[in-house]
Amino acid sequence: MTAADSGVVRETTLRTFHGQIKQINELFEDTGISDDDQINAVESIMRMPNHTSSYNVKRLQMDR
């Protein structure tokens, strides 16, 4: 058990979030897509129901 306010959960969450951002950046690397269009694409995927989100990310990768 960890002490209150130890920051363990926050650090894990930030590490996971950092990994997700890294994957998104790699997905769009060298595509020539503007930052704004990249953000719009990711936001669109995130707004989709959970059961289709992973499918759409895989499709984005295949279309690349």
Q: Which among 12, 17, 18 is positioned nearest to 2, based on CA atoms?
A: 12
Structure token pair of residue 46:
């995130």
pLDDT per position as a tens digit, 44-57: 888 877 655 556 66
Calculate ∠ Cα 24-30-35, nearest 5°.
Answer: 55
Cα–Cα distance for residue pair 58/64, rounded to 1 Å: 10
DSSP 29-50: TTS---HHHHHHHHHHHHHS-H
Model pTM score: 0.50
pLDDT per position as a tens digit, 2-61: 556 666 777 777 778 888 889 888 989 999 999 999 999 888 888 877 655 556 666 666
